Amino acid sequence: MIDRYGPWAVIAGGSEGVGAAFAHRLADAGLNLVLIARKPGPLAETAAAVRAKGVEVRTLELDLVAPDPVKAVREVTDGLEVGLLVFNAGANSYGHEFVTGGLDRFQGVIDLNITAQLALTHHFGALMKERGRGGILLVGSLAGYMGQPQISIYSAVKAFGRVFAEGLWLEMREHGVDVLELVLGVTRTPAMERAGLNMDMPGLNVAEPDDVAREGLEHLADGPVWVAGGNYDLARKRAGFPREKLVAGAHAAMKRMLPKPS
């Protein structure tokens, strides 16, 4: 792992849930880490926990949707040999019917999942290409396989990420850089718990952050897309045709999981 993707890894969204699980696994493998997130508390906590494993850790408190996130990231990473970028930040920050929702709020979902993801991938990807080695792991979602009401923009940005990863994988593989879109289903993260999702619904396949992070790192070289948590058949079904019944059926299942309006 360290020969191929070290000595430094950057985790955008590296303080909680899946991002923190990546940090622990990469530290166990001996990689030094740059962790990026907004809330200082969880960031400091995860940094201390992984530093205790004997690796170097730098933290950056940054909202990735702020203008020019690369400038802030470069202040912490210039001069480091970053062999792995994990772009994990990106859970839905705004759910609403599209036409009555706030365009600026939808824009925030796009800015994080598309603009910031592209900016960091562009910066670190170019350096990896020059070196002729490295890895880029983008965290995606099963939501990106079909549109859903209230989260139509989130579904669309996750579809963008997956298709982007496929093209990038083709471009980078001849330069020794692995690219993987790691597709997650429902995963027990602090963000999901704060959103009040009912994860105990019978029949729901809920993954644990450490399991999906392990799968992602194990399959980093098996791009362009890896569907984690045993959801491969579901992803394949969701990608199928005809669309009308598929989309309506998935929505009915999703409604059972959402918190009841109070």
Ligand X SMILES: NC(=O)c1ccc[n+]([C@@H]2O[C@H](COP(=O)([O-])OP(=O)(O)OC[C@H]3O[C@@H](n4cnc5c(N)ncnc54)[C@H](OP(=O)(O)O)[C@@H]3O)[C@@H](O)[C@H]2O)c1
The contact set with ligand X (CB under 6 A) reads 13-19, 36-39, 42, 62-65, 88-91, 112, 139, 141, 184, 186-187, 189, 191-192
Minimal distance in Å, beta carbon 131 to ligand X?
A: 26
Minimal distance in Å, beta carbon 79 to ligand X?
A: 22
The helices-and-strands tally (H runs, E runs) of the chain is: 11, 7
Q: How far is CA 28 from the centre of its chain?
A: 20
**Tokens 């350096």 found at:** 127
What are residue 227's phi and psi, to 5 degrees? -95, 115
How far apart are alpha carbons 252 and 9 in whole angstroms?
40
Minimal distance in Å, beta carbon 73 to ligand X?
A: 11
Active site residue 232: no
Which C-beta is closer to ligand X: that of 37 or that of 235?
37
Active site residue 158: yes
Minimal distance in Å, beta carbon 260 to ligand X?
A: 19
How far apart are alpha carbons 163 and 243 in whole angstroms?
19
How far apart are alpha carbons 138 and 254 in whole angstroms?
24
Tell me the three state secondary structure of residue 61: strand
How far apart are alpha carbons 147 and 166 in whole angstroms?
20
Catalytic residue among 5, 71, 129, 154: 154
Which C-beta is closer to ligand X: that of 19 or that of 134?
19
Q: Which residue is at the shortest CB distance from ligand X? A: 13
Catalytic residue among 145, 158, 237, 245: 158
Q: Dmax over Cα atoms in the chain, in whole Å?
A: 54
Which C-beta is closer to ligand X: that of 67 or that of 242?
67
Q: Which amino acid is at 184?
A: L
What are residue 147's phi and psi, to 5 degrees? -75, 145
How far apart are alpha carbons 211 and 10 in whole angstroms?
20
Minimal distance in Å, beta carbon 242 to ligand X?
A: 25
Q: Which residues are catalytic?
A: 154, 158
